[in-house]
């Protein structure tokens, strides 16, 4: 019988895991051609608004393959439910047998996304952070900030969200230990910050090229479908380095997709995260460069985090 690991168990297993290291190894395997990751399956709903993503794949000659289903239904908080749901299924790669059901309710997707953001910052954040900016006020905004602060220190943090009450609530999560400001608009965030993380499901650009100061790094994680867009394409045209977690996925979704579709950048400008990790010459080399990491989320992240949780579960049995 497959093991069933519920959310509370999953959370208890996370403390001893180096998630960022696992995600880094996954991106390296992906960019080196050692994984099989088919195109994303998705369902888009209008009434109520929501989207479901099915991501799946395996690392060659590994023990398992993974199928992940994760959803975002954005009106859920109005009825007292979290906007994100989901689960991960772990199968034996040699027999196809179901090994484990991870009832994570979207938690692992949130964690692996935040870990990818922290990973991108390791290679592209400027040496001195003058301000950290976050667009969005949901769980991903909170996790991105928490994971970034594990590696970096910064005295000033700016948060923007359409709902100021939610922005104040996010501020309260971090208590009095951080100097957190609530911005009146995204442009104010860009004015004060040289690293910006965008985490919203916006379909209209929130930042323009003239908002972005020299030396800024942007990690964009909100645009994971073909209709979402947080950054004006001219930002990517202005950037010195543009990074994708998956070049194939960038042809159908994300900020890069929008910029290429608008003929603002060519595909030749795009570098893949797993490749750049292994090649320092393509990483940030001065504090005047503008860099953008467009993270649409790749199944290899789900593979790595599901394996890590399951292996830790077995150790503690």
Catalytically active residues, by annotation = 68
Residue 187 pairs in a beta bridge with none
* Cβ–Cβ < 8 Å for 83, 73: yes
The two three-digit tokens of residue 23, written as one number:
């995600």
Cα(119)–Cα(156) distance, integer angstroms: 21
Strands (E), the chain: 3-5, 35-36, 41-45, 50-59, 64-73, 84-92, 98-102, 132-135, 156-160, 179-182, 195-198, 217-220, 241-244, 270-272, 291-294
- What residues contact residue 189 under an 8 Å CB cut-off, 6+ apart? 133, 134, 135, 158, 159, 160, 183, 196
Question: Is the bond preceding residue 60 a cis peptide, omega within 30 degrees?
Answer: no
* Cβ–Cβ < 8 Å for 48, 291: no
Taking the CA of residue 11 as centre, how many other CA atoms within 13 Å lie in the half-sphere pointing to its CB? 7
Q: Is 229 helix (H, G, I), strand (E, B) or coil?
A: coil
DSSP 112-131: HHHHHHHHHHHHHS-SS-S-
* CA dihedral over 13, 19, 23, 26, signed as positive or negative: negative
């Amino acid at each position: 019988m497959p093991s069933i690991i519920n959310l509370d168990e999953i959370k208890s297993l996370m403390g001893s895991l180096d998630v960022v290291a696992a995600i880094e190894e996954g991106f390296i395997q992906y960019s080196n051609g050692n994984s099989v990751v088919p195109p994303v399956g998705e369902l888009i709903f209008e009434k109520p608004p929501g989207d479901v993503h099915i991501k799946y794949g395996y690392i060659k000659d590994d023990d398992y393959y993974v199928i992940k289903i994760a959803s975002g239904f954005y009106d859920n908080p109005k009825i007292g439910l979290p906007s994100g749901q989901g689960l991960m299924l772990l199968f034996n790669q040699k027999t196809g047998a179901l090994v484990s059901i991870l009832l994570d309710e979207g938690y692992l997707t949130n964690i692996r996304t935040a870990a990818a953001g922290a990973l991108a910052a390791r290679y592209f954040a400027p040496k001195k952070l003058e301000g950290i900016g976050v667009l969005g006020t949901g769980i991903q905004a909170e996790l991105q900030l928490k994971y970034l602060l594990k590696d970096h220190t910064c005295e000033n943090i700016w948060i923007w969200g359409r709902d100021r009450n939610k922005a104040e609530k996010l501020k309260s999560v971090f208590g009095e230990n951080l100097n957190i400001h609530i911005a009146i608009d995204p442009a104010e965030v860009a004015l004060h910050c040289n690293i910006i993380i965008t985490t919203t499901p916006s379909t209209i650009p929130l930042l323009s090229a003239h908002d972005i100061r020299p030396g800024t790094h942007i990690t964009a994680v909100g645009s994971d479908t073909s209709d979402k867009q947080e950054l004006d394409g001219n930002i990517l045209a202005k950037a010195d380095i543009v990074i994708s977690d998956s070049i194939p996925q960038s042809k159908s979704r994300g900020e890069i997709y929008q910029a290429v579709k608008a003929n603002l950048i060519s595909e030749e400008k795009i570098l893949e995260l797993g490749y750049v990790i292994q090649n320092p010459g393509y990483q940030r080399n001065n504090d005047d460069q503008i860099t953008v990491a467009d993270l649409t989320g790749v199944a290899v992240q789900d593979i790595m985090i599901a394996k890590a949780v399951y292996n830790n579960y077995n150790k503690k049995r």
